[in-house]
Structure 1
Amino acid sequence: MSAQNSATGLRPIAVGPLGPLGPLGSLGGTAQAALGVLSFSFSFPATAWALEGFGPWTVTGLRGVLAALLAGTCLLATGARVPPRSSWPALAAVAVGCAVGFPLLSTLALRLSSTAHSAVVIGLLPLATAAVGALRAGARPPRAFWLAATAGAAVVLAFTVQQSGGAGLTTADLYLFGALLLCAFGYAEGGRLARDLPGWQVIAWGVVAALPVTALTGALALTTEPVHWNWHGLTGLAYLAAVSQFGGFVVWYRGMAAIGVPRASQLQLAQPLLTLCWAVLLLAETLPVAAVPAALGVVGCIVVTQRAGRGKEGAPGRQAGGG
């Protein structure tokens, strides 16, 4: 199957068997991609819940261990073969960016910042991923792409400075921008690797590859961070492990392979706005006045970059990703 890649034009995407989809495999590509976006939109509220019961390092370690156990079970059940050595550097990028870096830095940020604020900043992820994908592929996007990407970054920077009362970037913002950068590299490399492996195996092998780090992190954190057993903490941790770090990627990659990267990425424009809704409904947060306009501004910039990317061969649209 072919899809418009954000950095290399039309290319095949490995679809493979349904893998651990069960009855979800019968859904159409659009429905699966939309389910992936919906799944990822709950990640920040789930992290906020998990932090009610566990420390940030414990959350990062345990969600990685549980996701790796689930992914490893699926790999064994489907008889998946270990990827060739040529795929290991890309899998390492997925592991570092998606299984360790983004979960840790975003969790640290959510200890210091609201879910709504974080959702607006991470709304830049599609732009960052497309830019990284273009640079990695040596593509030359049109000027409109870079202008829109710069405008989107400016909107988020203005929002963060306004939220800090003019004091500049906070520690939470630095964590979020670090998470954004690492995740963009992980998504871009995962998108490149999806040419050769079924998408669900990309994230599955990624979280399995990260298991030594996440297991050590979780073991050490449990001895130093306090644990408060409560339903919010356990529910949030279970969601992060089963959905945010594995299951959501399964339907997202599968849907993206079925309908193509550009159509799937259009659906992902709703993710930051959905997260703002869940911040109000699930966490009873009060949205900053500038949150919705800033999120809409970022969405508008992403739309421009995608249209600009489709205007020239090899220009970026959106790499494989999730949340």
Structure 2
Amino acid sequence: MNSDERRGWLLGLLGVAVFGLTLPMTRLATGSLDAPQLSPWFVTWARAAIAGGLSLAWLWATRAPRPRPEHRRPLALAVLGNVIGFPLLLGWALRHVTASHAAVFTALLPLATAAMAAWLMHQRARLGFWLFAGLGSALVVAYSLLRAHQAGHGFGLSWADTLLVGAVLAAALGYVGGTQVTPALGAERVISWVCALALPITLPAALLTWPERGVNPSAWLGLAYVAVFSMWAGFFAWFRGLSLGGPLRVSQLQLLQPFISIAAAVPLLGERLDALTLVFALAVVASVFAGRRFGAAPPAPSPSLHKAST
């Protein structure tokens, strides 16, 4: 492994660690149903508005070129999915469930993103990918049903789990939108333009939903983290790591993210390590790994090989 690859792995690991703290920090910001803190509406708009201000400063300092008209639709998808959909649905869900519980659902994000890319970008995927995607989804449903049964609600999906599924799909949609314009704009510029373009919506919305009562300082700390790091700076480390170390290898570090979320929730939120959650998180991550390893689309033959075979 050369120096660039080593730096890529370290930056990728840093990015995954940053994103792994998103769930417990969001829960810290919104609070629980019994002890609510900041409104999920306010957290959604404020985190994006703060990141948008930082993005504008960075874009101006680096003299970044403006997106072209053909970039508007993919960037709009990223705004809809990553700026609004994911944080809002996640915030409301975390009012009702623990960060560890949510980590099991968000472990499906790599597979959901690949499935969304196969649908919207017409990328090929082998049967193995879809089989493991179905297995991972079934494991998440089984976990939700068992949790509902343990809570005395019978076997049924809770409203919070439905929100978590929506959050995963929204994030996957946003990632695919951003991916479509990354070759033209550059990875770091994509997230910055996404946050900056959303400012006409997010800044007024944050002011309109400003909390009317006092909250714990820890809630503001959680908001600051998800605004500066989860929404913006974490992508710089992650995208740079992918570039230096190679997407195929460095992206496998995402498999650590659910466990970072579960481990961080213990000191930050006082959650306890739960055997059922750990077992299902491990099983879902294993299905994601298998789906990405054995279900990738076959490489297209090179023109020279095709010519030689004919």
Please give the TM-score of this superposition, normalised by the length of structure 1. Answer: 0.85
Q: Does 1:192 align with 2:171?
A: no
- Quote the residue 2:303 is aligned against: none
Q: Give the deviation of 1:231 after TM superposition.
A: 2.2
Matches of 1:150 and 1:73, distance apart in 2: 43
Q: Does 1:36 align with 2:15?
A: yes
Q: Give the deviation of 1:286 after TM superposition.
A: 2.3
Matches of 2:209 and 2:16, distance apart in 1: 30
- Quote the residue 1:128 is aligned against: 112
Q: Does 1:308 align with 2:294?
A: yes
Matches of 2:213 and 2:285, distance apart in 1: 38
Matches of 2:155 and 2:214, distance apart in 1: 34
Q: Give the deviation of 1:220 after TM superposition.
A: 2.1
Q: Give the deviation of 1:210 after TM superposition.
A: 1.6
- Quote the residue 1:207 is aligned against: 195
Equivalent residues of 1:55, 1:226 under 8 A apart: no
* Correspondent of 1:221 among 205, 209, 213: 209
CA RMSD in angstroms, aligned pairs only: 1.8
Structure 2 runs not aligned, ≥5 long: 32-36, 301-310
How is 1:49-64 mapped onto 2 (pairs within 5 angstroms)?
49-52=28-31, 53-64=37-48
Q: Give the deviation of 1:190 after TM superposition.
A: 1.2
Q: Give the deviation of 1:90 after TM superposition.
A: 0.7
187-196 or 39-48, which deviates more: 187-196
Structure holding more helix per residue: 2
Equivalent residues of 2:82, 2:170 under 8 A apart: yes
- Quote the residue 1:280 is aligned against: 266
Matches of 1:193 and 1:144, distance apart in 2: 28
Instruction: Output the amino acid matched with 1:201.
Output: R
Larger-gyration structure (1/2):
2
Distance change >3 Å, CA 212–CA 33, structure 1 → 2: same
Distance change >3 Å, CA 168–CA 258, structure 1 → 2: same
Equivalent residues of 2:125, 2:296 under 8 A apart: no
Structure 1 runs not aligned, ≥5 long: 1-24, 315-323
Matches of 1:210 and 1:289, distance apart in 2: 40
How is 1:77-96 mapped onto 2 (pairs within 5 angstroms)?
77-96=61-80
Matches of 2:5 and 2:61, distance apart in 1: 19
Once the two structures are superposed, residues 6-37 of structure 1 have per-residue CA deviations (whole angstroms, 9 ceiling, x without a partner) of xxxxxxxxxxxxxxxxxxx9981111111100
Equivalent residues of 2:12, 2:242 under 8 A apart: yes
Equivalent residues of 1:46, 1:239 under 8 A apart: yes
Distance change >3 Å, CA 26–CA 75, structure 1 → 2: farther
* Correspondent of 1:73 among 57, 80, 104: 57
Once the two structures are superposed, residues 51-73 of structure 1 have per-residue CA deviations (whole angstroms, 9 ceiling, x without a partner) of 24411111111111111001111
Distance change >3 Å, CA 124–CA 175, structure 1 → 2: same
Q: Give the deviation of 1:287 after TM superposition.
A: 3.5
Once the two structures are superposed, residues 184-222 of structure 1 have per-residue CA deviations (whole angstroms, 9 ceiling, x without a partner) of 011112122211121111111111122122223212212
* Correspondent of 2:130 among 124, 146, 164: 146
Q: Which runs of 4+ in 1 moved over 3 A?
A: none
- Quote the residue 1:259 is aligned against: 245
Equivalent residues of 1:155, 1:297 under 8 A apart: yes
Equivalent residues of 1:54, 1:226 under 8 A apart: no
How many residue pairs are counted as aligned between the two chains?
Answer: 288
How is 1:97-136 mapped onto 2 (pairs within 5 angstroms)?
97-136=81-120
* Correspondent of 2:161 among 161, 165, 173: 173
Q: Give the deviation of 1:268 after TM superposition.
A: 0.6
Matches of 2:79 and 2:239, distance apart in 1: 16
Indicate the percent of aligned positions where both proteins have the same amino acid: 37
Q: Does 1:47 align with 2:26?
A: yes
Question: Which secondary structure state, in structure 1, belongs to the residue aligned with residue 269 of structure 2?
Answer: coil
185-194 or 83-92, which deviates more: 185-194
